[in-house]
A and B are shown apart, each in its own frame.
Chain A
Amino acid sequence: MQLAHYLGLLLQAEHSLSDAFQEVGRAHAAEADVYFICQKLVRQCDEHAESLRPFVQRYSEQAPDEPERLHSELFQGSRSGGLGLLRDLQDLYLMTAECDICWVMMGQAAQGARDSELYEVATRCGVETSTQAAWLRTRMKQAAPQALVVS
């Protein structure tokens, strides 16, 4: 059973995403909505990671060690300015996509393992992760013409 492998992957992805929301929010604090919504999403990612803990325990026989908090390869570090905001949000978007697909896999695995608790967590967190991506998409669509054509 390789479920623990994906649990580890997802846990690490949520940690990385949380760190990146934190960093991007702070770097772009002058964009008040970005700052405050990133703060909310930091808490949401941490809560997602926390929700996974019981399952890491449950499937611990196969679980890897506590994953390192690696800086994601998808996140290049924060930039500044209108174009920088767009690029940072794009990094976050790709990171949410990674989490999103992990949650889908987690849901599939939970069904195979007949683990209804994990399935419930995967469904709820998966929906929230899709919404994170939808917010990033909304905010980027708003910002793009001004950043790419006007500035």
Chain B
Amino acid sequence: MCAASRHLSDRIADVWGERTPYGPGDPWPVRVDAFLDDSIGEEEVDAWFRSASILHSNGDAMDIGVKDGRIVGVRGRAVDRINHGRLDPKDLYGWQAVNSPDRLTRPLVREGSELVETDWDTAMDRIVSRSQDLLGEGPGGWGHFGFYTTGQLFLEEYYTLGVIGKAGIGTPHMDGNTRLCTATAAASLKASFGTDGQPGSYIDIDHCDALALFGHNVAETQTVLWMRMLDRRRGPEPPKMVVVDPRRTPVADEADVHLAVRPGTNQALMNGLLRELIVNGWYDADYVRDHTLGFDELRSVVEAYPPELVADICDVSVEDIQEAARILGTAQRLVSTVLQGFYQSNQATVAACMVNNLHLIRGMIGRPGAGIYQMNGQPTAQNTRETGADGDLPGLRNWENPDHIEELARLWNVDRQKIPHWAAPTHAMQIFRYAEQGSIKLLWVSATNPAVSLPELSRIRDILAKEGLFLVVQDLFLTETARLADVVLPAATWGEKLGTFTCVDRTVHISDKAVEPPGEARSDLDIFLDYARRMDFRNKDGAPLITWDDPESAFEAWKECTRGRPCDYTGITYERLRGGSGIQWPCNDRHPDGLERLYSDGVFNTDPDYCETFGHDMVTGAVHTEADYRAKAPAGRAFLHSAEYQPSPEVPNERYPFTLTTGRTVYQFHTRTKTGRAPQLQDAAPEVWAELHPLDAQALGVAEGDVLRITSPRGALKARARVCGTRQGTVFVPFHYGYWDKGEAAAPQEPERAANELTLTDWDPVSKQPLFKVAAVRVAKAANANGTYAPAPVIGASAPPDGSARTRGGPTAVASSRVEE
């Protein structure tokens, strides 16, 4: 018999909602969160449709409520393994953007300096005719195409796009904005374990006795995962917590040890921590011997990083390093998570691999409570990676393995030479470089906004606006990027189309079509299928290359592509996904209900015929050859990678004495395309701000709310100062704020708002993820506050020490929460 209590709360002010404490090994209590249009009660909803979140990467399952053909709200799914009913504020309020009056409803084409409305035939004809001209330019026609997609479409859409690119046009120039958020997660998983795929499950939070968060402000990026952690922290036998973050985030506040490292020094810290573990004997010598390769080299590299040296490099105390190492070294069930603080920083891939090393040398992998989450930044990023819509091949295949290419050629019935595999697929920054040089002449951007999200924006805007570059943008709104396009295609979104997607812990959810898209907007799948038809892509036998025509048939085709691969979907059907909870891959004859944890037997996916990569040099990114790889005889053992610490490519100097780091607030997602159109979310974080340490503020003569001018060698912006808990010498600016709600232009005459005006063009040598966290900047006061606070939320890392201002959603933000007891 279940009793339930229902609470109403303003989830703008009460971001994480009511605590439901629980102990180790107990089930996480159910708490069903819901928010509906204020005039509508749950009983008045006509129908509920199955879905999950696409406003962050956690994969929280929900039902979409529809009344009179319109989305009217959302309710968390109690039975789902991911969230047990809970929802993030972005999900509670963000659905309103779907109903936004400024949605694109008709295709647009460029006529001179204007974008004018047109019909689908005209818009598609322009793209197809340009495509055919480029393909006709000779044997290198494929090289004029670039595709830049996202982490927010559905699996079926990515797979279709991947096949069009690889077997239709035959170009390697395809990547996602996942390059900015999750490339290092994939690279580190491949490097350590042989293939992509999280070893653990979120359920490991229920069992762990220690939590380590590396550059991961989970309280704001995946609030429901944080609720789960907090509920363990408030219950009996709470897990210890270690946090590495240069900012005083809510997670850092909660931690037992907070290492506020100097940006760019993660690798030095990790070397120091691993050294402490090894010196103190806190490792499992049998596991290391039987299941890993590279321990001697790791030991010899980290030996040179005693705590005193690391304290000096990272600017943290020796005692904190030792205490953190003691927690990591003595835990019996350790969960580690990694995100942008590592992925977007200096030495990203090797530092993320060091977290894998920590688990490998302790044998903390593949059993309850011993988990690693190399997190994703975006909701469907896992699928971009799996399907080959980014710089990988479909089914986690290895571009250097001729047998893998042959498998794809057979599956698609094309000549193997058609599939580009002469080098790693082209990463996003290189795609933009080819466009800058003019060899890429058609760039197709789907569901992402590079004019705000890529580094060094003045350069990116120049590329997008370049004469001779035919820019196609497929989106919901007229974004900053869409304004520069030659053709704009209006797309349907979440709730308006059917498909599936997979979250960090390999759980697949279905997302049903609840309502019709506005006007003539079409699903991204239909757009890609239409392009393939019009381009008349054929297989070897002259039949159409794309053999599917709707989401479910695309999913069935994808299942065949995954057969026998680590991400095996063959046991999943749409019908099963509508059953109750999402289902984890691999799901096949051997694991009919999915597999909770990979590598429980200590056998990793490193076999040369099975692995996804033959590996890279961590310093330069040089690829290792197949012969090198086979000579290591991995035989199912995992790799322990190691590297010396090297300073960031850009460090503070006399002219630019501060380090800029960029990131998110809990209330916004990406460039606010959706969250900026949900009033409760937008009002909570309406405008850019810059976080300064109190001592830095004092030295600059800056007080709360003063307008700062922040300058880097690339550009400048203006933002009001929030004096709070970032580390000394470090300035934080959220990257959400572009120019779409500042007027008509893609950017004003004097750009003044977007964090990426300041960031530098450089990327990790292995994952190719840009370095957003280590730009050198100068800070100066531009104007007095005149009594105005910074427009920064007081909840989250931007909380001021004195609690002087308030963030609340007010009466329009009242959501309900039902806890089952």
Interface of A is mostly: helix
Contact A31 B433, beta carbon cutoff 8 Å: yes
Report B473-510 CB contacts with A as 1/0, cut-off 8 Å.
00000000000000000000000000000000000000
| Contact of B620 with A by CB under 8 A | yes
The residue from B439, B646, B761 contacting A82, defined by CB atoms under 8 A apart: B439
Residue A70, interface by CB 8 Å: no
Q: Is the CB of A32 within 8 A of B140?
A: no
Asked if residues B617 and A135 are in contact (CB atoms below 8 Å), the reply is yes
Given contacts A33-B765, A37-B765, contact A138 B143 (CB under 8 A): no
The yes or no answer to B701 lying at the interface (CB within 8 A) is: no
Residues from chain B with Cβ under 8 Å of A149 in the complex: 139-140, 143
CB within 8 Å for A134 and B437 given contacts A32-B763, A141-B422, A145-B143: no
Q: Are A33 and B144 in contact (CB under 8 A)?
A: no
CB closest residue in chain B, given A141:
B423
Bound-state Cα–Cα, A146 to B144, Å: 9
The answer to whether B140 touches A138 (Cβ under 8 A) is no
Q: Across the interface, name the chain A residue whose C-beta is closest to B143.
A: A150
Chain B 205-216, CB within 8 Å of chain A: the 1/0 string? Answer: 000000000000
Is there an interface contact between A30 and B433, defined as CB atoms closer than 8 Å?
A: yes
Q: Are B429 and A150 in contact (CB under 8 A)?
A: no
User: Is A137's CB under 8 angstroms from B422's CB?
Assistant: no
A102 to chain B, nearest CB (A): 20
Chain A residues contacting B27 (CB-CB under 8 Å) are none
With an 8 A cutoff between CB atoms, is B621 at the interface? Answer: yes
Q: Does B316 contact A (CB under 8 A)?
A: no
Q: Are A36's CB and B762's CB within 8 A?
A: yes
Which A residues are CB-close (under 8 A) to B465?
none
Which residues of chain A come closer than 8 Å to B439, judged between CB atoms? 82, 146, 150-151
Q: A30 vs B436: C-alpha distance in the bound complex, in angstroms?
A: 10
By the criterion CB–CB under 8 Å, are A138 and B621 in contact? yes
Whether, in the assembled complex, B79 has its beta carbon less than 8 Å from a beta carbon of chain A, the answer is: no
Q: How far is the CB of A135 from chain B (nearest CB, A)?
A: 4
Q: What are the residues of chain B within 8 A of A146 when measuring CB–CB?
A: 140, 143, 434, 439
A108 beta carbon closer than 8 Å to chain B: no
- Inside 8 A of A132's CB, which chain B residues have their CB? 620
Q: How far is the CA of A131 from the CA of B624 in the complex (A)?
A: 9
A window 10-48: CB within 8 A of B:
30-33, 36-37, 39-41
Residues of A within 8 A of B430 (CB): 142
Q: Known contacts A82-B439, A141-B422: does B622 contact A134 (CB below 8 Å)?
A: yes
Bound-state CA distance A82–B437 (Å) is: 8
Asked whether any CB of chain A lies closer than 8 Å to the CB of B649, the reply is: yes
B623 within 8 A of A: yes
A 126-149 binary contact with B (CB < 8 Å = 1; else 0): 000001101101100110111001
Q: Please pick, from A41, A142, A144, A151, the residue contacting B424 in the complex, using a CB distance under 8 A.
A: A142
Contact A36 B649 (CB under 8 A): yes
Chain B interface mostly helix, strand, loop or mixed?
A: loop
**Could you tell me the distance between the alpha carbons of A41 and B811 in the complex, rounded to whole angstroms?**
60
Q: How far is the CA of A14 from the CA of B34 in the complex (A)?
A: 66
Bound-complex Cα distance A141 to B617 (A): 16
Residue of A nearest to B616 (CB): A138
Partner of B620, one of A31, A81, A82, A131: A131
**Which B residue's beta carbon lies closest to that of A31?**
B433
* Contact with B622, one of A40, A81, A137 (Cβ below 8 angstroms): A137
**Given contacts A33-B765, A142-B424, are A150 and B620 in contact (CB under 8 A)?**
no
| Bound: A93/B508 CA distance, A | 46
Chain A: number of interface residues, binned into ranges: 20 to 34
Cross-chain contact B621 with A40 (CB below 8 angstroms): no
**Contacts A32-B761, A82-B439 given: A37-B140 contact, CB under 8 Å?**
no
Contact status A138-B649, CB under 8 Å: no
**Which chain A residues lie closer than 8 Å to B313 at the CB level?**
none
B762 and A40 within 8 A (CB): no
Which one of A31, A131, A151 contacts B619 once the chains associate, using CB atoms below 8 Å? A131
Complex Cα distance A132/B624, Å?
A: 12
Q: Are A40 and B619 in contact (CB under 8 A)?
A: yes
Determine the distance from Cα of A132 to Cα of B762 in the docked complex, in whole angstroms.
Answer: 19
Chain B positions 634 through 645: 1 when the CB is less than 8 Å from some CB of chain A, otherwise 0: 000000000000
A138 in complex: contacting residue of B426, B429, B622, CB < 8 Å = B622
A138-B623, A141-B423, A145-B422 given; A33·B763 CB < 8 A? yes
Residue with the highest number of chain B CB atoms closer than 10 Å, among A82, A132, A142: A142
> Is B617 within 8 A of A134, CB to CB?
yes
**B427-456 contacts to A (CB < 8 Å):** 429-430, 433-434, 436-437, 439
Chain A neighbourhood of B426, CB < 8 A: 142
- Indicate whether A145 sits within 8 Å of B765 (C-beta atoms), given known contacts A40-B620, A131-B619, A131-B620: no
Cα(A142)–Cα(B421), bound, Å? 10
User: Would you call A32 and B429 a contact (CB within 8 A)?
Assistant: yes
* Residue interface bits B553-582, CB-to-A below 8 A is 1, else 0: 000000000000000000000000000000
The smallest beta-carbon distance between B190 and chain A, in angstroms, is: 16
Q: Find chain B residues with CB under 8 A from A151 CB.
A: 140, 143, 437, 439
> Beyond A33-B765, A149-B139: 5 further Cβ-contacts under 8 Å?
A32-B762, A40-B646, A134-B622, A141-B423, A151-B143
26 chain-A/chain-B pairs, Cβ below 8 angstroms: A31-B433, A32-B761, A33-B762, A36-B649, A37-B621, A39-B649, A40-B646, A81-B437, A131-B619, A134-B622, A135-B620, A138-B423, A138-B620, A138-B623, A141-B422, A142-B423, A142-B426, A145-B422, A145-B423, A146-B140, A146-B434, A146-B439, A150-B144, A151-B143, A151-B437, A151-B439
List the 6 closest pairs (A to B, CB-CB), nearest first. A150-B143, A134-B622, A150-B140, A135-B620, A149-B140, A135-B622
Residues of B that sit less than 8 Å from A by CB: 139-140, 142-144, 422-424, 426, 429-430, 433-434, 436-437, 439, 617, 619-624, 646, 649, 761-763, 765
